[in-house]
Chains A and B, each alone.
Chain A
């Protein structure tokens, strides 16, 4: 082995390299988005259909139950649009998380991760590339969903500070959902499993205050709904959107859940990456 052979392999190390690798892997994720636009379209359209379905089919009846003094019909639909927009935003992030889990599982079960693990590339760069890609996708898709909600008559009352806080909190939520789903994808062992496990992220919002007030649920369901992460998360988003911030304790709970689950997802993802089964 000659010295010349080593020159370009003996470059910088540490965080600088990890960051360069992360940016490279993030660029790959974005390129994949561009090359497979129908997936992104699907991920934007699905929550929009959900929104239309809930507002125009269920809204007239349910809307009267979510806000005091609302009569069924058009008023109910308007009230329900206001009520569920935060939940639909969360569902948008969760369905992108699901598709991210599938991408990660494809990397893990194919040869991509095998090759990357035999290279001096940190796991956080490989997995983080998927997270960054999913974040971009989530922010674009949720912007589109919010736009459609506005077209339907949703009028957020947030001021500038509220919007900045909302963007910050929603990004934190997306980071959390993505790290959990990246971990699920990395741990799955097959693409099929990776498409199933994140379903929990899509089902839990239904068992929260996202679609109906928890007060209307039977006691056992209500206790669960009040104590699972999506309720404080959705209440925080709702509060920021309507310009009446949720109680501090709710916000703290929401942020704590997001930070805690992000760390858990990151740890689980890294562990699964190192123990790749394929």
Chain B
């Protein structure tokens, strides 16, 4: 992976435990500017926790994380001004129309009046929601709602976008649509960190794939690099090799390092 470009996200020694459950056990990860990084890992590997810490939702127990140079702990509002988050659960208000949902975000992002309408129209157009702009969103399909969710994330032109399982539950066509939107996002220079259960998604979208296991980073490479390194035909095989629950994660960590 590239180390010459400046980092959009810098994570060092991140630790987090919920109750007695250790979720992150010293995670180190660097995401370069303008790239797509996919976080892969079994359920409970700490993907969502990582995103939650980076998007200032939960504090880490130890270690540090910065987004575009701002510490998520000490400068949360600076981070919040620069990021967009599409969480696992829908953040769309089902009683409002697509247009009203976007307008709500434009108002909260304090867009100037002149730019507000333009930005809302632009996003409705880009995401193929123009025809549904006056439809209460509870009447939209799951795929349309998810697209609106992503569009709402982008209203304030965030420089770093977190997508937590963006396509879970979508049909293949809707999934491909959303991938296309993400690709266009990156072509604008936006940095994307996404978590996914779909290895094909990581293969299709990500410049680099970071595999989490036992709360640590066990591999971070391009999809092709991972397949070569593990002599595997698909990311499925890489995933299975790296996240074997029988194997102690520390050994794997050393093996990779």
Closest B residue to A110 by beta carbon equals B89
Which positions 1-54 of chain A face chain B at CB distance < 8 Å? 1, 5, 8-13, 17, 20-21, 24, 27-28, 31-32, 35-36
The verdict on A260 contacting chain B, using a C-beta distance below 8 Å, is no
Q: How large is the interface on B (under 10, 10 to 19, 20 to 34, 35 or more residues)?
A: 35 or more
Q: Which of B85, B96, B112 contacts A35 (CB 8 A)?
A: B96
A-B contact pairs, 18 of them (CB 8 A): A1-B68, A5-B157, A8-B157, A13-B77, A20-B107, A24-B107, A28-B93, A32-B95, A111-B92, A111-B149, A112-B91, A114-B57, A115-B91, A116-B91, A120-B77, A120-B81, A276-B57, A278-B89
Which positions 103-159 of chain B face chain A at CB distance < 8 Å? 104, 107-112, 115, 136, 149, 152-153, 156-157, 159
Q: Which of A17, A24, A28, A111 contacts B87 (CB 8 A)?
A: A111
Residues of A close to B89: CB separation below 8 A: 109-111, 114, 278
The complex places the Cα of A8 from the Cα of B158 at a distance, in Å, of: 11
Are B108 and A111 within 8 A (Cβ)? no
Residues of A close to B110: CB separation below 8 A: 8, 11-12, 17, 20
Name A residues whose Cβ lies closer than 8 Å to a Cβ of B.
1, 5, 8-13, 17, 20-21, 24, 27-28, 31-32, 35-36, 109-112, 114-121, 276, 278
Given contacts A9-B81, A115-B85, A118-B85, contact A110 B90 (CB under 8 A): yes
Q: Which of A1, A11, A109, A119 contacts B80 (CB 8 A)?
A: A119
The verdict on B228 contacting chain A, using a C-beta distance below 8 Å, is no
Are B91 and A36 within 8 A (Cβ)? no
The complex places the Cα of A19 from the Cα of B153 at a distance, in Å, of: 22
Residues of B close to A12: CB separation below 8 A: 110
The complex places the Cα of A207 from the Cα of B81 at a distance, in Å, of: 49
The complex places the Cα of A35 from the Cα of B100 at a distance, in Å, of: 12
Are A118 and B90 within 8 A (Cβ)? no
Are A119 and B109 within 8 A (Cβ)? yes
The complex places the Cα of A35 from the Cα of B136 at a distance, in Å, of: 9
Closest A residue to B159 by beta carbon equals A1
The 6 closest A-B CB pairs, nearest first, are: A111-B89, A115-B91, A111-B91, A118-B85, A24-B107, A118-B55
The complex places the Cα of A126 from the Cα of B248 at a distance, in Å, of: 44
Are A110 and B56 within 8 A (Cβ)? no
